[in-house]
Chain A
Amino acid sequence: MRPVPTPDRDSRPWWEAMARHELLVQRCGVCARLRWPPRALCGACGSFEWSWEPASGRATVASWIVNHHSFGDAIPSPYVVVTGRLAEQDDILVPGGYAGPPDGAGLVIGAPLSAGYEDLEADDGRVWSLLRWQPLTP
């Protein structure tokens, strides 16, 4: 069984948005800096004021790995994990699955991505949505 997300009180609305296939980030209400994952305080200016904002889903490849060893058997190897650097702000780095080839063929750092989603049903029947980065052909 694949592990499902374990939201906390900061992240629950974010995972709920993911289930609607929306990728949210927080925007600081004072300095307007974006942040992810969800946190109560802006690390740039110290403000507790913030709002949710949908991200465009455009990103570039910050890095990726190709898993060969069987790490817990949750996902059959080989499989790829990609960290996407969001177009909105270069220090927002979001890991996700990958819709391209499972051996990572063709991936290069800086290549364009768009956010996709994969729905996953848990043992209790609840459906979770996970990020699945899609390669974009320029």
Chain B
Amino acid sequence: MTAAHPLRDRAAIAGIGATEFSKNSGVSTLALALRAVSTALGDAGLAIGDVDGVACHRVGDSVPAVLVAHSLGIQDLRFHYDLFGGGSASAGVLAGAAMAVATGQADCVVCWRAINARSEWRMGGTGRAAPDTPEYQYLVPYGHVTPPQHFAMFARAYMDAYGVGAEDLGRIAIQQRTNAALSPRAMMRTPLTMEDYLASRWIVEPFRLFDCCLETDAAVALVVTSAERARDLAQVPVLISGATYGSGHTWYSNHRADWTTTAAAAMSKRLYAMAGLGPGDVDVAELYDAFTPLVLLQLEDYGFCAKGEAAALVAGGTTALGGRLPVNTHGGHLSEGYVHGLNHAIEAVSQLRWAAGDRQVPGAEVALSTGQPGYVAGSSSAVILRRAS
């Protein structure tokens, strides 16, 4: 018997908060961050004076972590963590906060993602500078600039290798729309049929409109403190049982000739080992879904089925509410809204608190919440969360 990982169950999520999800917040990303953080602290039964650490991720599209700390009035900031990255970094923010709390660097870390992803800094290009990586010089001249284009290129290789077709992707979009109808926060709640899906316009083949996530103005926040302290606070503590960082495929990663398996395949082994759990223990999975095929890839690479079997798993109802492994119970980025991975984390916490209303997975004890599994960014991250007994 090997010793438990030193990070396992040491930190807990004690509070969650979210702003309205909209197409135009009308306020700054600083204001969004402050609103979500304030809500999360209230949810935890904590005050700003309890906070001594801040953590966020961004891609040149939001305010710096320390500016939020200063705006909160924190005088003696003990931990600050400002990850460059989109969805790939999202769970990594929680991992950083958990490490800070577990090592005594901080007692209480607020984590957030705040973006005006529709009204100000669209990922598709409007209003933003070229990403801060030299690799884009080899893409931009070909009109190959935006995430749907980049992910479509990777997705086709996967779809071709495993015979995944349009209806396989459509089932993901439809299932998540069904879930979103049960979420008061969700932006897209009109039911979607396969006919609607197949009739939707091409964005970039093999992606139709409904294969692509929303662009949303919103912030969400989570309060991370020690498992011990969380027991005395307002909510049922949600333990961070596992939290890992992983690699990924950049466009040109030499040594990564195969695009059809994500970096999550290697990372998930470490994640499960850290948590002392396996795929069979997961009751609900919130899988990063900027585009529909990422759900299939992660079902395979997080060990819920063998390679090439995810489409059949979804078609068989396993991932629907009421199935063995409900996935993206809030509607995900496709239908709830796009807060770059962290709205998945607050949904996971709601599920483990048994506070997810009509979309509650009965008795959920263990949740997986993932970041983008590594394409383009070259990095990935994920957490396994567990309801404290």
Q: Which of A69-97 contact B (CB under 8 A)?
A: 69, 71-72, 74-75, 79, 81, 83, 85, 90-97
A23 to B124: give the CA distance in the assembly, Å.
30
The residue in chain A whose Cβ has the minimal distance to the Cβ of B208 is A68
How distant is A86 from chain B, measured CB to nearest CB, in Å?
11
Other 19 A-B pairs with CB < 8 A, given A63-B153, A81-B144, A93-B257 = A5-B138, A8-B137, A33-B254, A37-B134, A65-B149, A67-B149, A67-B204, A69-B148, A69-B204, A71-B146, A72-B145, A81-B143, A83-B153, A91-B253, A91-B255, A91-B257, A92-B252, A93-B251, A131-B142
Instruction: List residues of chain A with CB within 8 A of the CB of B135.
Output: 37
Question: Interface size of A by Cβ–Cβ distance < 8 Å?
Answer: 45
Instruction: List residues of chain B with CB within 8 A of the CB of A104.
Output: 205
| CB contact between A2 and one of B143, B149, B205, B251 (< 8 Å): that residue | B143
How distant is A87 from chain B, measured CB to nearest CB, in Å?
13
Stretch at the interface among B154-162, B308-316, B333-341, B346-354: B154-162
Q: Are B160 and A79 in contact (CB under 8 A)?
A: no
Q: Are B156 and A130 in contact (CB under 8 A)?
A: no
B125 interfacial contact with A, CB 8 Å = yes
Q: Are A5 and B141 in contact (CB under 8 A)?
A: yes
Q: Are B144 and A95 in contact (CB under 8 A)?
A: yes
A7 interfacial contact with B, CB 8 Å = yes
Q: Are B142 and A69 in contact (CB under 8 A)?
A: no
A62 to B160: give the CA distance in the assembly, Å.
10
A-B contact pairs, 29 of them (CB 8 A): A2-B141, A2-B143, A6-B130, A6-B136, A10-B134, A11-B134, A33-B254, A36-B252, A43-B254, A44-B254, A63-B160, A64-B153, A65-B144, A65-B152, A67-B143, A67-B149, A71-B149, A71-B204, A72-B143, A79-B143, A81-B149, A81-B153, A83-B153, A91-B257, A94-B138, A95-B138, A95-B144, A104-B205, A109-B156
B5 interfacial contact with A, CB 8 Å = no
Question: Interface size of B by Cβ–Cβ distance < 8 Å?
Answer: 38
Q: Are B160 and A130 in contact (CB under 8 A)?
A: no
Instruction: List residues of chain A with CB within 8 A of the CB of B234.
Output: none
Given A10-B134, A91-B257, does the pair A65, B124 have CB atoms closer than 8 Å?
A: no
Instruction: List residues of chain A with CB within 8 A of the CB of B124.
Output: 71
Q: Are B255 and A69 in contact (CB under 8 A)?
A: no
How distant is B201 from chain A, measured CB to nearest CB, in Å?
7
Instruction: List residues of chain B with CB within 8 A of the CB of A92.
Output: 252, 254
Instruction: List residues of chain B with CB within 8 A of the CB of A68.
Output: 201-205
